[in-house]
């Protein structure tokens, strides 16, 4: 996969649950852009105004814990975020993120990254580059089954292709 993701860092702490990402009351919605308009509404209302296309969320441990709502990674992706780098993820969030085409990787050194640092994720080489601090980190790519799904743009286009549907 020849791809790199670029943007500025938005820092979040540990245990950011799906209810903080998208409050339960919006789970009745299915339109991803509508979901994005409520992203982090309760806990970081300023986020929406500051995020630009390609930006990257940097979080602590257990990101995306809580409900299985795919609304959470969708709200993040459609707000403009291209990837989440965290110390660890809740299992379903991680799976959902890749399945909807939001890149997600774990990196133990996330604490070194500061708010607004310019970050590049090089998917080809498995490298995170912090341009602001001049640092580079190696990361483990997601498993091949997930990379194949991500490369197609998510599990929906992947399944379409698998079933030969247009």
Q: How far is the CB of 89 from other proteins (least distance, A)?
A: 8
Q: Which two tokens stand for residue 160?
A: 């379409």
Binding of other proteins at residue 135 (CB under 8 A)?
Answer: no
Distance CA(148)–CA(141), nearest Å, equals 11
Which stretch, 2-10, 83-91, 119-127, 128-136, contacts other proteins (CB under 8 A)?
A: 83-91
Could you say whether residue 141 binds other proteins (CB under 8 A)? no
Q: Which is nearer to other proteins, 71 or 137 (CB)?
A: 71
Verify binding: residue 105, other proteins, rule CB under 8 A: no
Which strands sit side by side in the sheet containing 127-130, from one edge to the other? 103-106, 83-86, 56-59, 4-11, 118-122, 127-130, 135-138
Minimum CB separation from other proteins for residue 28, in Å? 4
Q: Are 50 and 7 in contact (CB under 8 A)?
A: no
Q: By CB under 8 A, which span of 45-53, 90-98, 115-123, 130-138 interacts with other proteins?
A: 90-98
**Taking Cα atoms as reference points, which of 103, 98, 105 lies closest to residue 154?**
98
User: Can you tell me the distance from the alpha carbon of 103 to that of 124, in angstroms, rounded to the nearest whole number?
Assistant: 13
**By rule CB under 8 A, what count of residues binds other proteins?**
44
3 vs 123: CA distance, rounded Å: 6
Give the residues lining the site for other proteins (CB under 8 A).
15, 17, 19-20, 23-25, 27-30, 42-43, 61-62, 65-71, 73, 88-92, 95-96, 99-100, 143, 145, 154-156, 158-160, 162-163, 165-166
């Amino acid at each position: 996969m020849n791809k790199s993701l670029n943007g500025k860092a938005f820092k979040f702490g540990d245990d950011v649950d799906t209810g903080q990402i998208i409050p339960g009351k919006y789970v009745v919605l299915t339109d991803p852009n509508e979901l994005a308009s409520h992203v982090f509404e309760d806990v970081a209302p300023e986020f929406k105004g500051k995020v630009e296309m390609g930006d990257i969320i940097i979080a602590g441990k257990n990101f995306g814990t809580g409900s299985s709502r795919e609304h959470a990674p969708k709200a993040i992706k459609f707000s403009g975020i291209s990837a989440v780098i965290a110390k660890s993820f809740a299992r379903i969030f991680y799976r959902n993120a890749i399945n909807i085409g939001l890149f997600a990787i774990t990196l133990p050194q996330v604490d070194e990254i500061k708010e607004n640092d310019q970050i590049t994720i090089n998917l080809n080489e498995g490298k995170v580059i912090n341009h602001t601090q001049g640092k580079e980190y190696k990361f483990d790519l997601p498993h091949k089954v997930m990379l194949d799904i991500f490369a197609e743009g998510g599990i929906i286009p992947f399944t379409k292709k698998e079933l030969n549907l247009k």
